[in-house]
Every structure is written in C-alpha cells, then in structure tokens.
Amino acid sequence: MNPVFVIAGYVLREAASRKFILAFMVGLTLVLATVALSLKLEVVDGALAATRLFGEVVRAHITSVDVALRPIFRAAAYLVFYGGILFGIVACSDFAPGLLSPGRIEHLLALPLQRWHLLAGTFVGVMTLAVGGTVYAAGGLTLIFGVKTGYWTMGPLVAGGLACVGFAAVYAVMLTTATLVRSAALCSAAGFVLLVGGILAGFRTDVSRYLEAGFGRTSFDAVTLVLPRLSALAVGAADLASSTPLKPDSLGMLLGGVLVFGLGALAVGFWHFEGKDC
Amino acid sequence: MDLLVPSGSAFGLIGPNGAGKTTFIKSVLGIVRPTAGTVRVLGGSPEDPAIRARIGYLPERLHLPGTWKAPAFLATVARLKRLKPDAPAHLRLLERVGLSDAVDRKIGGYSKGMRQRLGLAAALLGDPSLLVLDEPTDGIDPMGRLEVRRILQEEVRRGVTLFLNSHLLAETERVCDRVAILADGRVLREGRLEELARGGAKWRVRFAPGVETSALAAAGFVPAESEARISTGTPPGLAADGAREGVYLVEATDVAVLNAALDRARASGALLMELRREGADLEAVLLGAVGSGPGVAA
Amino acid sequence: MDSRGRRKVWLGGAVLLFAVAALLMFTGQGDELPPPAPEVKFPSRMRGTDFERAEKRRTWVMPTAQDAGVAAPVKPRDPLLAALPRGPGRTAVVIEANALRHSPLGELLLDCLMRDGGKNLEQFKALSGVDPLQDLDRMVITDEGLILSGDFSKARYQELLGERVSSDHGPGARVYEPGDTSIALPDGGTRRGRMDNAVGTWNDQMLVLGRNPDEVKTVLDRMDGRGPEEGPPLLDENSTYGEMYGVLAVEQLAKLLGPEQAELAQRLKDVAQNVELHLDTSGDVAMVADVRGLDEQKMTDLGKSLGGALSMARMKAQAEGNTEMAQLLDFAKVRPDGTSFKLELAVPLSAIQEQLAWCRKPAGSTPPAP
C-alpha cells in the first residue's frame, strides 16, 4: 500500500480515538435526528404549504419546495463552510504536531518513507476526515429534507465539497506551519489568519475601495491576489446549495485556484520538512 | 568522527550525556543530515528508503498510539516498511518479546517496559539486517532485560548487525563485542571490548590477613589500592582500607614468572586466598577514556 | 534524486503553484464588483412617495354639509378614487401611467413604443392635443368603463367630439353621447368614424369613457360627491401604492385563470370575496394579490392549493425548458393570513429587459416568438 495512504490511515485511526471528534459526530447526529423528528413539512403539489418545528408554525408563506428550502440550504452551506473550517482548524490542529513529536517522528523517519509521504499522508488523512464529516452533515440534511419534501438536490453535498476544498487550503497552511513550529496553538493561529485573509481576499475588490490609494492599497491588492478567496468560494457554495445562479464568473476556476493554492502551501511544507533535522 | 561498524557485529555506543550519541544514531538513520561528511549504512545512503527498509530502529522515547492495540500497531509499521501485514507472524513476534498476554490490551495501558518490548518488536519486523536500538531495556525489569538480551544475542547470532546505545554499561558489556566511546562529538576510543578492557600483564592476588608487606613488595607485589590511586586518583584513605584486605597486584608476563613471584610470597609466609587476572570493566574503561565525574550515561 | 534536489523541486513547484492559483482565482472571480444581489421588493404598504402622491391628489373639496345635525359621510378626497365603483363584486384597476412611464419598465415599454421614431405618438398628439407621455397621469379600468386623469386642458374635444350630442353635467363636467367622430388628417383630409362609447369630461382633469351616457354621468356624479352611497370606496386612499393597483372581482379573476385551472377557479369563486392587486415597477416587476374571504380554514386550503398550482406550473415550466415562465414563478409565493392570503409574483427586470431587447434594435427586426 502506498505509504501516503498508510499514514492517512494512521491519522484517521488517531482521529477516531479522539473523544471530542466522536462527540462532534454524536452531536451532529443528534442535531440531524432532532431536525428529522421535530420538523414537519406539509407539501402540496410540490409547494411547501406549512412548516412546523416542535409543533409551532415557523413559516408563513407557501411556495415551491425548492424555493422554500433555498434559505435553509444557503444557511446550511455557510454553516458547513465556515463552521466546518473553524471546527477543522481547532480539531485537526494537533494532528501534524503530534505526528512530528519526539519519539514518533524519529520512528517514522527511520521507516522506508520519503519525508513528503508523512505530510501528504497527514493531509490526506485530515481531508478524508473533513470530507467524511461534510458528507455526513450535508448528506444527512439532504436526506432529511429529501424524505420530508420529495425534493432531492445534490446542492448541499456539492457545497460541502467546496467547503472541503476551502479547508484543504487552510489545512495545507496549518501543516506547513507545523513543520516550522511544532505547536498546535500556532497551527490553529495560522489557520485562523488564513481564514480571515481568505475572507478578505474574496471581498478584495470591495475592501480595496475603502483603502486609501497608495502603498497600503497596492500591498493589500498584492497580498490578497495570492490568498485563497474563501469567501467567494463560500458564496459559490451557498449559490450551489440553494440552486441560485452563481455569482463568480467561473466557479471552476476559483475552485481550482483555491485547490492549487493549497497544493502550493503543501509544497512549501514539503520543501521545509525535506531539509529539517528532527 | 570516523567510525566503522563491521557487519554482523554487536556494537555498543557509550559516552556521557550530550556526547552526541543520539544525534549520531539519527544521522545513521538519515533523520539528521550531517553538515559535512558522509554516512554509509549497509552499503548505501541512509536517505535511501530501500536502505532504511533493512534497518530496525527503536528510538529512545518511542511514542506509541495509546488507543491502539499491539497487533494493529505492528500491522501499520509493517505496511510502512512495505511489508505485507502477517497477523500470525506479528503474534509470534509479540510472543517473542513477551507481550503475548497483552495483545488484546490497548497500548495506553502498557507499562514502560511493555512499550519498550513493543518497540523492539516493531524494530524486529521484516528481519532487518541492522538493528539500531536506543536504550532498548529502559524501564524493563531485570527478568525482562534477560529476555531482551537473549533476543538481541539471537539476532546477532543470526548475522544481524546490532548497534546499541544503552546507559546500562553492564548490558553493553554483556551484549556487545565492540564498543565506541563518544564524548563531545568525538570518538575517544573504539575497538573490541576485550581489547579495551584488557589490563595488561597484571594479576590481582589476595592473601590471608597477617602478610608482611615489605616481604611481598620484595617479591614484586604492590598493594592494589596504591596502584588504583596512581591510575585513577582514588583518595589515599581508601588505599589503606584496601591494604587491610590483603589485595596486591603483581606484574607477570607469563605463568612461570607469576608462579615464581607467588613462590617467593609463600616463602615469606603469605597464604594465597585468591588469584585473578587484572582487567578493567567497561565503566573503568569509560572513566579512563572520559575521566571520572558525574554525567556518565547514555 | 537527493534531498537537496528534492527541496529545489518542492520550492520551485510551490512558487509555480502559487502563481497558477492566483491566476485561476483572478480569472475565476474576476476583479469587477459583482452586481448587487437581486432583491425583489413586493408592494405591501404605502411608501413615502405614495403618500406624497396621494396628498397632492386631494383636490376635491367636500361640499358644505346641508344638514348640520347629520355627520357628512367619509369620502376619498381624491376625485378619481371617489369616482370608482363601490360595493362587492366590482372591479377597478388603477394604472399610474405617469409613474409607470418613469419606471424602468416604462422606459423599456417606451423604447418599444418609440421604435418607429415616435411617429404614431406624434400623430396622436397632433390629432388629440394630448401628449400621453406628459399629460396622462392615471388610467382606471373598471367594469363600468375607463377613466383617464391628467392635464387635458389642451385636448381638442371640439374637433374630436364636436359632432356628438353633448350636455353639461354639473360644474366643469360635460357628457358626450355615442356618435360619429371626425379626425382631421395631417394631409388636410378628414377621416370619419363611429364611437360607441359615451364620453365625459371633468374640469380638464378627467376623461370618462362608458357604455352609455348614464354610466358616465354616474361616474361624474361620484366625482362631484353627488352619487348615492353604495358602501365603502372600492379602493381606500391608503391602498394606492404601486404603479398599478386595484380590486378585482373573483369572477373576473377566475376568468383569467383559464380552462386549465377550472377547479381552482371554481374554488376561488366559492371561497374568496375579492382580490386587491398591487404592482410595483420601481425596480423588478413585483405583484401582490391580496385574496380575501370569510372562512379561515377554506382560505388556508385555497392558499395551499394555489401555492401547489404555482409550484406545479413552475416545475412544468422547468421541465419544458420554459425558463422565462420558471423564472417568473421562481418568486411566486402565497402568504396565508387568517381569512385572507397574499399571492406574490415577480419578474426580474433583467428578464424583462432580455425579453424586450428587440425594441432597442433598429426597426425592422422582428420580436422573438413568445
């Protein structure tokens, strides 16, 4: 088996033993189950005629199911995107520092692996975890609303996929940070900084207008040109989830750009780790 | 440093704290890159995964995943060594290191000694040509050490090259046939253990109390304590205690000279109680090489 | 490759990847500010401009009360609203022609109207003396006829209606009976025609068209406050918001639904009393129909049925690839509210622009098939 996948399995096995990740999955299941059990949707000829949550009417208008579910899927997409990235930053911050800790890294490096296998395996493991969590959350939501309304859409799942690409860029930076400093806190901090930078980069045109022309604005434009445009991706994810027309000119290009940024960050990590004495 | 470890040997590395032993081991495994010079292991570079595949390594403080069970850990290490996981073989290996009763327990519940045994099992996976062990018996009870020593000796007999770093000098002495003494990143002494420990043509003799020192001195016997004081700087107070015990050293290039000296001593009325060839243990060798003082450890 | 070589590859790769990423993201998102998200504002209440407009129209002075002991009945102070029919089962739809003309939709419609360079419009102005784009303020369609309000001081009544039998009807009002009409042509000739409608004029501000002189007189009487009280005004002054508004009798609305929705039309007739409409064209074209009935349960069920019908129609349009219809029904929703419910429909202005794009092309090009 490719060592990258063995390391990924190693990371996943470690993750499975973490109580707070298990607690998160249980919590997610409970939320989905609560929504499934407490939400009553009355559908008449494809229109959402009435919505009751815990027996209380929560919607006052009747419209097509897909239109009615748009704000819900949109909100869910934003929640999955930003909530997922935030949770991922916190939950996955110590995987890489843990793997690079004394007593473990020497053992791993003495095995017949390339150094980049370790980082790539950690990345793949964490991303598998992220994709699994996203599919579980978005899929559960799609399933609940699909069963209750008869309206089936891949939107939330696709939006979840976009969220995973966004997280890939963030985690690549966190992983690279771990090769520089073996600290979960600093890895988290790097992830947060990139998330904020990514949000700004998505709105760079709007933000740039409010900056005074000159060095400040030029610097801002230059930095945000390279940063992954996470907020733009989030908007695209929400558009996809709610089946509304896409705002970015080409979501595919944007998505590719964010993914390639992640790979670039990962390559920096490989570069540094390759020359590092552990 | 310039150090050659012959294939098939059991090589021990000793030296004080901060001597560079662990760094040296890491450079042997490619974990640390030498700033200058080259490291050749098993005929190749340690950076080559194919070379590392033939090395079994037990780090000093092996960090094991606490929630896993031993067979799962071994299976993962086997996969990383590009080996096909072989559950029965892994169980046999665990039995060999004395963990057969703990296969169903999580590693987190293992004692320090059990963790070391598991680390040793992981190092032994894939029948490596070179075993690099950093404190393999750390935390293991005396009976366990015997078992580990037996395993290591078996491996050496099988033709495996053993590279051992242990602060238990007695263990190094018992397992290794070659030793290098490292201090401040330099190899101070290196060679076969008996060569390093050889004391020359000296014999240690113990006479019954009441011997006449001057007569023995005339026969070529000198009190052992004054000899020791000369070579190691032992305080003179201890020498007087040694003299009371009737221990003397005599230099004899061959058996005939020794017997002649003994005859002279007996003729002066001394009664022989004990006779053995004088030689230094590893500690004495280390002390001799590095100098006495605290911090002599792996 | 040794470690040093690999490091060079990783570093070079990283730089290249960052450059490609920046290029892809720049191309993907663009650097232009995205247009603001379309937000359809449905007409639901009087806005500031509506209040101002209503205020200006309070031109009718209430006659002095003849019987000091009896309180004067409440009447709209806008003469046009006063002229509207009253009582249940009646229909009146007001088109704010001036506001509509200055709305984005009006601009688009004007483009279509002016495709011939405004020739027809100029002809109409020359014949009638009235510039519809300047002088027409409101147009009301009722089940009694048509009322136009605005500035008709330059109207050539004499030339257009001079041959008809006419009579004064109160101060400032005149009624023309149906009859022949002669129109002076630009080449100096005259075209004669027959008009079956009675026409009433009121203070150069109103023009009333009815089936017969009596109906016209009734409307003029209401305008002057002389009409018999038949109930509350069909349209309250506080309901004059939007570029088009009014009250439709359910029978009229049922007819509009067509034979495909016969069942729904019948339920509408059985359950609902009337429908108040408001159309807003200040941005996207948004319509709210407030359907009122008496039985809450029946009205809720009707609302659900209507919502379902709209949803089905939308799905059908989507399935058939009728994107325009699907887009129109995208905003369709029903808001139940006790014994009434509101039906909301909207068409994004961009969709209308797309549909009417041919008006901006040179004359001769043909409009697209609907």
Determine the topology of domain B10-195 in CATH. Answer: Rossmann fold (3.40.50)
Q: C9 vs chain B: nearest CA distance in angstroms? A: 17
Q: Which of residues 265-304 of C touch A (CB under 8 A)?
A: 303-304
**Average pLDDT of the residues in A121-126:** 95
More confident residue, C46 or B245: C46
Neighbours of A44 (CB within 10 A): 20
Provide the residue range defining the domain that includes C116. 48-59+77-121+132-154+206-360
Neighbours of A242 (CB within 10 A): 22
Which chain A residues have a beta carbon less than 8 Å from that of B60? 103
The Cα B161–Cα B153 span in angstroms is 11
Residue type, C141: I
**Average pLDDT of the residues in C141-147:** 88
Q: Which residue of C lies nearest to A266 if distances are taken between CA atoms? A: C14
Let me know: does C209 contact C143? Beta carbons within 8 Å: no
Query: Structural domain boundaries of chain A?
Result: 3-38+65-274
Q: Which of residues 3-32 of C touch B (CB under 8 A)?
A: 3
Residue A131's pLDDT band (boundaries 50, 70, 90)?
A: very high
Q: C17 vs chain B: nearest CA distance in angstroms? A: 27
Total domains in the fold of chain C: 1
Token reading at A152? 């089936």
Sign of the dihedral through C-alpha A180, A184, A188, A193: negative
- Pairwise CB contact (< 8 Å): A278 & B31: yes
- Pairwise CB contact (< 8 Å): B59 & A108: no
Residue with tokens 């490759």: C1
Residue C72's pLDDT band (boundaries 50, 70, 90)?
A: low
Which of A232, A253, A275 lies at the smallest CB-CB distance from C3? A275
Is it the case that residue C237 has pLDDT exceeding 70? yes
Query: Is there a domain that residue C269 lies in?
Result: yes
pLDDT of residue A172: 96
Q: Which residues partner with B162 through β-bridges? A: B10, B131
More confident residue, C318 or A74: A74
Q: C126 vs chain A: nearest CA distance in angstroms? A: 48
Token reading at C172? 């400032």
Residue with tokens 């001195």: B217
The separation between CA C56 and the C-alpha centre of its own chain, rounded to angstroms, equals 20
Q: Which residue of C lies nearest to A176 if distances are taken between CA atoms? A: C14
- Pairwise CB contact (< 8 Å): B33 & C2: no
Give the pTM: 0.72
Q: B230 vs chain A: nearest CA distance in angstroms? A: 44
Residue A51 DSSP one-character state: E
pLDDT of residue B230: 46
3-state secondary structure of B203: strand
Strand order in the sheet with B221-223: B221-223, B247-251, B198-207, B272-279
Which of A9, A10, A103 lies at the smallest CB-CB distance from B63? A103
Residue pLDDT, tens place only, C262-284: 887 888 888 888 888 899 988 88
- Pairwise CB contact (< 8 Å): A102 & B61: yes
Which chain B residues have a beta carbon less than 8 Å from that of C2? 45, 47
Neighbours of C18 (CB within 10 A): 20
Token reading at B102? 């703990």
Residue C243 DSSP one-character state: S
User: Which range has the top average pLDDT, A261-265, B151-155, B202-206, C349-353?
Assistant: A261-265
Please give the C-alpha separations between residue C40 and each of C283, C286, C288, in angstroms, as whole numbers. Answer: 8, 7, 12
Residue with tokens 């809450």: C296
Q: What are chain B's partners, defined as 3 or more CB pairs within 8 angstroms?
A: A, C
**Average pLDDT of the residues in C60-67:** 57
Residue B237's pLDDT band (boundaries 50, 70, 90)?
A: very low
Q: A19 vs chain B: nearest CA distance in angstroms? A: 11
pLDDT of residue B76: 92
ipTM (interface predicted TM): 0.86
Residue pLDDT, tens place only, B86-126: 899 999 999 999 899 999 999 999 988 899 899 999 999 99
Q: For the stretch B52-80, what's the b/e string if a residue is b when 16 or more beta carbons lie within 10 angstroms of its beta carbon?
A: bbbbbbbbbbbbbbeebbbbbbbbbbbbb
Q: A235 vs chain C: nearest CA distance in angstroms? A: 11
Token reading at C130? 């009235």
Q: Which residue of B lies nearest to A275 if distances are taken between CA atoms? A: B33
Is it the case that residue C40 has pLDDT exceeding 80? no
Q: Which residues partner with C292 through β-bridges? A: C274, C340
Token reading at B297? 């450890």
Residues whose CB is less than 8 angstroms from the CB of residue B190 and which lie 6 or more positions away in sequence, other chains included: B3, B178, B179, B180, B181
More confident residue, C185 or B2: B2
End-to-end CA distance of chain C: 68
Neighbours of C313 (CB within 10 A): 21
End-to-end CA distance of chain B: 18
Residue A86's pLDDT band (boundaries 50, 70, 90)?
A: very high
Residue type, C323: T
Residue pLDDT, tens place only, C5-28: 888 999 999 999 999 999 999 888
Residue pLDDT, tens place only, A101-121: 888 899 999 999 999 999 999
- Pairwise CB contact (< 8 Å): A108 & B80: yes
**Average pLDDT of the residues in A241-267:** 85
Residue C116 DSSP one-character state: G
Residue with tokens 């031109």: C59
- Long-range contact set of residues B82-88: C-beta below 8 Å, sequence gap at least 24: B82/A3, B82/A112, B82/B53, B83/B125, B83/B126
**Average pLDDT of the residues in C343-359:** 78
The Cα B102–Cα B110 span in angstroms is 8
- The C-alpha angle with vertex A113 and arms to A109 and A118, in degrees rounded to 5, equals 70
The Cα C106–Cα C180 span in angstroms is 33
pLDDT of residue B298: 37
Residue with tokens 């294939």: B7
Token reading at C134? 């300047």
The Cα C199–Cα C208 span in angstroms is 6
Residue with tokens 């420990």: B197
Residue with tokens 């009807």: C169
Q: Which residue of B lies nearest to C1 if distances are taken between CA atoms? A: B48
Hey, is the C-beta of B33 within 8 angstroms of any chain C C-beta? yes
Query: Structural domain boundaries of chain B?
Result: 10-195, 199-290
Q: Which of residues 33-52 of C touch A (CB under 8 A)?
A: 33-34, 37
Is it the case that residue B229 has pLDDT exceeding 80? no
- Pairwise CB contact (< 8 Å): A268 & C336: no
Q: Which residue of C lies nearest to A198 if distances are taken between CA atoms? A: C25
- The C-alpha angle with vertex B46 and arms to B44 and B49, in degrees rounded to 5, equals 95
Hey, is the C-beta of B45 within 8 angstroms of any chain A C-beta? no
Q: Which of residues 71-90 of B touch A (CB under 8 A)?
A: 72, 76-77, 79-82
Hey, is the C-beta of C120 within 8 angstroms of any chain A C-beta? no
Hey, is the C-beta of C366 within 8 angstroms of any chain B C-beta? no
Please give the C-alpha separations between residue C60 and each of A17, C78, C174, C202, C366, in angstroms, as whole numbers. Answer: 83, 6, 17, 12, 47
The Cα B74–Cα A10 span in angstroms is 12
